Amino acid sequence: MERADEALKWLEQAEELDSSRPESFIYRIEAYARIGDHDRAEAMFYQALQFEGDHAPAYANMGESLMDRRDYKRAISCFRQAASADPLYPRVYARLAAAYAEVGRHDRARQLYLRELREAPGDIDTLLDLGCLLTDMNRLAEAGEKFRRVLEIESDHPDAHFHLGELAMRQHRVKEAIASFRLALRLSPSHPEVRRRLAEISISQGELGEARKLLRRELRELASNPRQFTVTDLEELGELLLDVRLPRDASQVFQVLLERRPDDARVLHLVSLAHFRCGERSQGMEYARRAVRLDPTLLSALHNMALACVHERQWGKARYYLDQALEIDGDDHSLRRLRLTLRAHRALESLGLFTSRRRILRRRGRARAG
């Protein structure tokens, strides 16, 4: 029911009543992970392992916590341990497949999804996950088969219609994509991605007003149900808001993202970008510096910092950031253009200073002559 805080209270009472059972610890791994307290989730995991018996659910829940933290290698280890402890544990091979997919081992992930489907051929979640993997592998015909198989099992499943819409988008069948997305939206008005895909189509067709309307509805959905939005959802929503020239709204979305990923260089860069687009250069520079401290190779942040310094006529600082960026990628066209811009600005500045000095000397000459 997405009420993990309340669940924790009952689980703590369960431990007080009987501390010899592992269940309260196992479920608290999941509960703490749901509220983003992954350190406590890990503490519960190690406590659960102290008990004898089936450790598969503890490893599986810990794997989910690690997936949330993008620690995919450790997640793979946990899911493998869960599968070893209980080969019939629900969807353990599917979750192991998802972790392998995240580290780029797509073929291994596909094999594991197929193994899961041999055990449970009608599992809709696994069919959807496999369809998404096949889409990423550009095996679009096979992906479509999996999504249509879901509709054979459940004809009004919104996610299946949504993913068929995504396939149609990739194949440039725009009318078909719009029809699938609208059907998915009718079936599930709070679907977390449909409006963003429709907004993308509107942007591509130059209909920024329609895109803004869709994205503002998405903002209302975020305000009413923030936990429904994953890190990827927030990142995508913020970037689309920048695309339709709503940087203030994008900044608010990126701040929510920053609360979940406070030490993520890319997130800090996105916050800085929104501030720059709002004309707030000092705030933009502050977040960009934090991003570069975490990731000195973040080219886009260095580029924006150099550009901001050019606008502020801080030539020395602009040159410093630009040189750092060029060391990372000396062939980047935007950086080379910025270098030319910087040289032009400096030349104009020097010319202006030279002209001003000549005027002063002329005035002094006239004064002396008088």
Note the pLDDT tens digit of each residue in 270-284: 999 999 999 999 999
Structural domain includes residue 26: yes
CA atoms within 13 A on the CB side of 7: 17
Looking up residue 37, the CATH number of its domain turns out to be 1.25.40.10
pLDDT in tens, 251-276: 999 999 999 889 899 999 999 999 99
Judged by average pLDDT, the poorest of 36-40, 144-148, 226-230 is 226-230
End-to-end distance of the chain based on CA atoms, in angstroms? 90
Structural domain includes residue 61: yes
Closest CA to 81 of 67, 61, 110, 98: 61
Residue 361: pLDDT over 50: no
Q: Which two tokens stand for residue 33?
A: 């992970």
Q: What is the average pLDDT score of the chain? A: 90
Structural domain includes residue 167: no
Closest CA to 32 of 42, 41, 23: 41
Structural domain includes residue 157: no
Among residues 57, 89, 121, the one where a domain terminates is: 89
Judged by average pLDDT, the poorest of 104-113, 119-128, 339-348 is 339-348
Structural domain includes residue 210: no
Domain that holds residue 20: 1-89
Structural domain includes residue 269: yes
Structural domain includes residue 354: no
Structural domain includes residue 245: no
Residue 146's CB: how many other CB atoms inside 10 A?
23
Judged by average pLDDT, the poorest of 43-52, 160-169, 319-328 is 319-328
CA distances in angstroms from 335 to 14, 289, 305, 338, 366, listed in the order given: 60, 18, 12, 5, 46
Number of domains in the chain: 2
Residue 358: pLDDT over 70: no
